[in-house]
């Protein structure tokens, strides 16, 4: 039997530890009120007869208290409760010591030369702060019910290393506002740029500043650069106006413009990769390449997107993409109904771009942001049920309610935050233009921001259900769609209840996918062996 400690570690059950704990309480009462060795043995034997593969340490302690009361050892039970409480206080005083000291020791023994290396002091600082945040989140900030659900793998409460601070997950930067109306970085006012090249430089400065005050991804829509490419073109033509031949002016202007376009895009693509935030990491950025035929700067944006894709294609020929922090590219194109758009579509495919509006952030406004993510472990529900398929939906509903409570913890943590926490977000245009000292509360509702219900392992869930109930291919497909629809309906219900926007998000390649699989593997053993991976997809 495995005992799950408060820090999530699984250790072998040892009845001697129970005996020692009760004997310590025995010493605090008179002899006639003590538990005998036989009675202590009865308690340990009862725990062992439960025949559980895993049990929480808190559950063991609850059983001990219950059994002492049943034996009429009321004073002893009281002493044991005091002993248990005292031990809890000691843990609360020193709970981070071991993890932080161990972290420092491990970090200093790593020989990674990358810019995210844990040897680097700024990275160490962030990791140490993360351990403190995780500890306080577990002990104080989150309800015990949510902590227990996280530790048992019912859900994954993402990014606990940042939960201590009132900062957001991700945002669609209102780059149009910041470029057109200027912004402030490090107390320096940046006015509207007068050229494409300068606009690209300012964007990289904005990305750097935003990365220092949030923990997730930032999305930049490059369609707002079209205006500045035209500014450069008009400026170049004005400077060439002394030339008499209009054809020569146009030819030279286009040559100069193409060079500026190339240099500006290089500034974005290469500089992002070389930026290091205050926590020692490269900012996580997604560039949205959007084409709208109604846009005044449609032709300029075609030039910009083509240049981005051509440069990305050249980069991919010379480097290993896995070792580079290249910005992710999401293409939002119209139907490829012209040769030009068809060529652009094929170029985007060659660059491994995401070509689907469905994968773009579900953002209503420029400046829309994500308050946080909590993911439900779908395969565990399939592993838990035994009798019939209806059991699956009942358990799914129960666990979604826990996820809802956890998501609301995310929301409550941001309520009352004042804009001075991150001026670049709240005062200087990335999200809003609120005043100093103003609270951000009005931006947490009415669709301006969202909370994400993540789901993990949908494919594995269908496979597990099929192994239990022998589902046909048609039924599998129906289950797949029915589960997704169920999640969508549930978040819409939450939205009506709260006025907060909730979205459903597919979680892949995160700590959650590996952690939840590992928990289930330890708990359910061979039942998980039918799955192919060592993580949930």
Kindly report, residue by residue over 39-48, the tens digit of the pLDDT. Answer: 989 988 898 8
Q: Smallest Cα–Cα separation from 283: which of 369, 213, 211, 219?
A: 211
Tokens 């193409």 belong to which residue?
258
- In this prediction, residue 9 carries a pLDDT of 65
Cα–Cα distance measured from residue 354 to residue 352, given in angstroms and rounded to the nearest whole number: 7
Kindly report, residue by residue over 377-393, the tens digit of the pLDDT. Answer: 999 999 998 877 788 99
Distances from the Cα of 35 to the Cα of 77, 410, 447, 509, angstroms? 10, 45, 60, 51
Report phi then psi at 91, rounded to 5: -65, -40
- In this prediction, residue 56 carries a pLDDT of 81
- Chain-centroid distance of CA 206 in Å reads 21
- Could you report how far apart the first and last alpha carbons of the chain are, in Å? 28
- In this prediction, residue 48 carries a pLDDT of 87
Kindly report, residue by residue over 185-233, the tens digit of the pLDDT. Answer: 988 999 999 999 999 999 999 999 999 899 999 999 999 999 999 999 9
Q: What is the mean pLDDT of the chain?
A: 85
- In this prediction, residue 177 carries a pLDDT of 97
Secondary structure of 366-408 in the HEC alphabet? Answer: CCCEEEEEEEEEHHHHHHHCCCCHHHHHHHHHHHHHHHHHHHH
- In this prediction, residue 219 carries a pLDDT of 95
- In this prediction, residue 424 carries a pLDDT of 97
Q: Smallest Cα–Cα separation from 160: which of 142, 144, 180?
A: 142
Helix, strand, or coil (residue 427) = coil
Determine how many CB atoms are found less than 10 A away from the CB of residue 352.
14
What are the start-end ranges of the E strands in 147-284? 155-157, 170-172, 183-185, 188-190, 218-221
Report phi then psi at 36, rounded to 5: -75, 165
- In this prediction, residue 121 carries a pLDDT of 65
Residues near 400 by beta carbon (within 8 Å), at least 6 away in sequence: 376, 453, 487, 490
- In this prediction, residue 360 carries a pLDDT of 45
Mean pLDDT of each 10-residue bin along the chain, 537 residues long:
70 86 86 88 88 81 85 81 64 57 53 50 72 80 90 94 91 96 93 96 94 92 96 93 82 94 91 64 88 91 95 82 71 73 86 64 74 96 85 93 95 93 96 96 93 95 86 82 96 96 92 92 83 82
Residue 240 per-residue DSSP state: T
Residues near 249 by beta carbon (within 8 Å), at least 6 away in sequence: 237, 240, 241, 243
């Amino acid at each position: 039997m495995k005992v799950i400690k408060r820090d999530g570690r699984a250790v072998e059950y040892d009845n001697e530890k129970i005996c020692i704990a009760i004997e310590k309480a025995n010493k605090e009462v008179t002899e006639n009120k003590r538990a005998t060795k036989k009675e202590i043995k009865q308690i340990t034997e009862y725990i062992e007869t439960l025949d559980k593969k895993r049990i929480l340490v808190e559950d063991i302690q609850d059983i001990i208290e219950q059994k002492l009361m049943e034996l009429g050892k009321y004073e002893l039970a009281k002493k044991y409760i005091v002993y248990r409480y005292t031990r809890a206080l000691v843990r609360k005083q020193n709970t981070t010591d071991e993890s932080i000291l161990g972290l420092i020791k491990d970090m200093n023994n790593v020989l990674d030369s990358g810019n995210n290396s844990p040897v680097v002091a700024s990275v160490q600082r962030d990791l140490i702060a993360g351990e403190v945040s995780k500890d306080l989140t577990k002990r104080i900030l989150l309800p015990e019910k949510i902590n227990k659900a996280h530790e048992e793998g019912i859900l994954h409460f993402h990014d606990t290393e940042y939960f201590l601070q009132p900062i957001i997950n991700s945002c669609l930067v209102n780059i149009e506002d910041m470029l057109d109306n200027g912004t402030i970085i490090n107390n320096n006012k940046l006015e509207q740029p007068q050229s494409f090249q300068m606009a690209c430089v300012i964007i990289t400065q904005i990305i750097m500043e935003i990365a220092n005050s949030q923990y997730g991804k930032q999305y930049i829509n490059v369609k707002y650069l079209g205006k500045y490419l035209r500014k450069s073109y008009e400026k170049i033509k004005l400077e060439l106006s002394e030339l008499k031949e209009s054809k020569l002016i146009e030819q030279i202007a286009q040559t100069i413009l193409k060079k500026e376009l190339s240099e500006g895009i290089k500034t974005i693509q290469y500089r992002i990769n070389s930026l290091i935030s205050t926590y020692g990491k490269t900012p996580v950025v997604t560039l949205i390449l959007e084409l709208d035929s109604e846009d005044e700067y449609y032709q300029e944006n075609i030039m910009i997107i083509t240049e981005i894709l051509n440069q990305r294609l050249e980069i991919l020929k010379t480097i290993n993409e896995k070792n580079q922090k290249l910005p992710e590219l999401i293409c939002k194109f119209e139907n490829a109904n012209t040769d030009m758009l068809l060529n652009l579509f094929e170029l985007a495919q060659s660059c491994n771009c995401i070509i689907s509006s469905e994968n773009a952030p579900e953002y209503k406004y420029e400046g829309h942001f994500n308050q946080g993510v909590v993911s439900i472990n779908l395969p565990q529900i399939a592993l838990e049920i035994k009798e019939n398929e209806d059991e699956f939906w009942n358990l799914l509903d129960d666990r979604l309610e826990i996820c809802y409570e956890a998501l609301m913890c995310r929301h409550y943590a941001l309520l009352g935050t004042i804009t001075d926490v991150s001026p670049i977000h709240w005062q200087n245009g990335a999200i809003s233009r609120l005043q100093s000292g103003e609270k951000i509360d009005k931006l947490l509702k009415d669709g301006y921001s969202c909370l994400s219900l993540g789901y993990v392992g949908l494919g594995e869930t269908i496979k597990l259900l099929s192994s239990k109930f022998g589902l046909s291919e048609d039924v599998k497909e129906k289950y797949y769609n029915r589960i997704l629809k169920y999640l969508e309906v549930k978040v819409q219900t939450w939205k009506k209840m709260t006025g907060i926007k909730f979205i459903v998000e597919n979680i892949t390649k995160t700590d959650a996918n590996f952690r939840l699989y590992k928990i289930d593997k330890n708990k359910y053993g061979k039942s998980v062996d039918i799955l192919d991976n060592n993580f949930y997809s």
